[in-house]
Chain A
Amino acid sequence: MDTEIFTPLRLDEIDSALQLELKEKLDIDIEACLECGKCSGGCSNGHIFDYTPRKIVQLVKIGDEETLAGMDALWICLSCQLCLDRCPSGIDIPRILDYLREKAVTQGVRASRPDVHLFMELMLEEVRDKGRVSEVPLMIRFKKKTGQYLKDAGLGFRMFLKGKLGFIPSRMQKPEDLKTILSERKSENKG
């Protein structure tokens, strides 16, 4: 990746296809970016991102969809909303990341953090089955898929002793009521 793009861009360097897409679909105007970097200064996970929020905005401007779809930041963004709150132009970067993640998954791009993606998919399975998410069944699903039975076993035992894990999982009386909301899920990619 050419690091030059992370300096302020000239107009002729900008390929606006993705920028227009975000404007049309999300009503987010990347043009309003002041290139001040406050988003990256505040970013909770900026110290481990491969591309910080300001760089992500630059990548959107030049339309580098391949880098955006495969970047690690897509899967370790905490959705903490700090970048959005600090942006003088109010650019909703967490929403852009959600959009790019959804698009990458729909296109079948493999997540840089398969466990993070898997965990999210299993959480949605919980919602589909019960209408709600309970930690214990979710953890069992996750451990079955990853084979990481021993990871956090000690913590699990301590929680059990505290009575934190002993509950019958909460569920809706009629989870089928969610059918009309869940049926249109575009991708069933399981990480």
Chain B
Amino acid sequence: MDIAYFPGCSLHAMAHEYDRSARLVCERLGINLVEVEDWNCCGATAGHSLDHELALGLSARNLSIVNRMDRGEVTTPCPGCFSRLKTAVHALVNSESMTRRMEKRLDATLSRLPGVTHLLQLLMEARGLRGLAQPVVKPLTGLRLAVYYGCLLTRPHRIVQFDDPEQPSSMDGLLQALGAETVKWSHKTECCGGSFAASEPGIVIDLGGQVLEAACRAGAEAVVVACPMCQVNLDSRQDEIKKERGRVHNLPVLYFTQLMGLAYGYSPRELGLRRLLVSPISLLEEKGFF
């Protein structure tokens, strides 16, 4: 099965391990990710915050390339990109004048638009829980995880149309199918501090701190994410949270694809587990994974 793949900027930089683990598990599942040719930034944050048409134009160009590649569907591991691409599809479908304007600017036709999925959604829909559990060689038995969805994977529901925006369960189901235990907790879809990591880190320390605290209170040993921004916000500020709030969490924050890869038998090196700031290695050793 071939599918157009939109990695997005983060996966070509800090979240390299997300890209790598995503490609590995897809390969194992017989899903061939074909990268969108010369893709550009999706228009997240700065784009839509300052210039609506520019953000729309950036996503429209990516969609037009998927069309040109003759792919009916594009998948992305980043909820930020997912949200922008879905929003653009929605805006174009609902406005003929906007579609004409973008077609003129891009010199492309946008009358037909590709379907957009988040990678988690693609895996669930293409293989189902049974299919996703089938390659498991090392079940994640004994791992107690807080599965964190963040904002844009399920919101706004009328645009993204994936899972339940208040009580999502798809990723919990996946991790359970891989053998892990997932905790019931309060902050599944609360915000991690989003794009303020550099410009207003206090917001990330505040909101990310709440998420980590809730995960700890629920008895989780690690947090699972499907978003490069959530990962970096929750992973990188635990020292400051300790300093400012006096709470020690020391919770590893892993991508769901890394845990799938682990269950499928890939090594920590292949999955980039050592690239995470709060190391998951001792926890995984303690549980007997290697």
Residues of A that sit less than 8 Å from B by CB: 44-45, 48, 76, 78-82, 84-85, 90, 92, 98-99, 101-102, 105, 113, 115-116, 118-121, 123-124, 126-127, 131-136, 138-139, 142, 152, 154-155, 158-159, 162-165, 167, 169-170, 172-175, 177-178, 180-182, 184-187
The 8 A CB mask of B10-25 against A (1 = contact, 0 = none) is 1011101000000000
Known contacts A102-B52, A180-B106, A181-B106; A133 and B41 CB within 8 A of each other: yes
Are B54 and A181 in contact (CB-based, < 8 A)? Answer: yes
Name the residue of chain A whose CB is nearest to the CB of B53.
A184
Q: When A and B form their complex, which 6 residue pairs have the shortest distance between CB atoms, in order from nearest?
A: A181-B57, A170-B12, A123-B46, A44-B191, A120-B46, A119-B199
* CB <8 Å contact, B151 and A81: yes
Distance to closest chain B CB from A89 (angstroms): 12
Contact A120 B40 (CB under 8 A): no
Contact with A along B139-160 (1 / 0, CB 8 A): 0000000000001100111100
Determine if A159 and B277 form an interchain contact, defined as CB atoms under 8 angstroms apart.
yes
The reply to whether the CB of B124 lies closer than 8 angstroms to some CB of chain A is no
What is the chain A residue whose CB lies nearest that of B159?
A81
Q: Is the CB of A186 within 8 A of B51?
A: yes
Q: List 23 A-B contacts (CB under 8 A).
A: A44-B190, A44-B207, A48-B203, A76-B196, A76-B203, A78-B193, A78-B195, A78-B196, A80-B152, A82-B151, A85-B157, A85-B166, A115-B200, A120-B49, A127-B58, A132-B40, A152-B198, A154-B239, A172-B38, A175-B40, A178-B58, A181-B61, A185-B54
**Of A119, A124, A154, which one neighbours B198 at CB under 8 angstroms?**
A119
Query: Which residues of chain A come closer than 8 Å to B275, judged between CB atoms?
Result: 162-164
Give Cα distance in the complex from A132 to B207, angstroms.
27
A152 to B189 Cα, complex, angstroms: 27
Q: For the complex formed, measure the closest distance between the CB of B6 and the CB atoms of chain A, giving whole angstroms.
A: 12
B13 touches A123 (CB 8 A): no
Interface size on B, residues (CB 8 A): 56
Partner of B49, one of A82, A98, A152, A178: A98
- Please give, as numbers and ranges, the residues of chain A lying within 8 Å of B200 by CB-CB distance: 76, 113, 115-116
Contact, CB under 8 Å: B48 / A177? no
Distance A169 CA – B38 CA, assembled complex (angstroms): 14
Chain B positions within 8 Å of A, measured between CB atoms, are 9-10, 12-14, 16, 38-41, 45-54, 57-58, 60-61, 83, 105-107, 151-152, 155-158, 165-166, 189-191, 193-196, 198-201, 203, 206-207, 236, 239, 274-277
Chain A residue at minimal CB-CB distance from B157: A85
Given the known A-B contacts A85-B165, A132-B12, A133-B41, are A181 and B199 also in contact in the complex, defined by CB atoms under 8 Å?
Answer: no
B198 to chain A, nearest CB (A): 6
**Least CB separation from B207: chain A residue:** A44
Chain B residue contacts of A132, Cβ below 8 A: 9, 12, 40-41
The answer to whether A79 and B199 touch (CB under 8 A), given A85-B155, A85-B165, A134-B13, is no
Distance in angstroms between the alpha carbons of A48 and B205 in the assembled complex? 14
Contacts of B206 in A (CB 8 A): 48
Contacts of A177 in B (CB 8 A): 38, 40, 61
A124 and B10 alpha carbons, distance in the complex (Å): 15
Residues of B with C-beta under 8 A to A120: 45-46, 49-50
Q: Tell me if B156 and A98 are in contact (CB < 8 A).
A: no
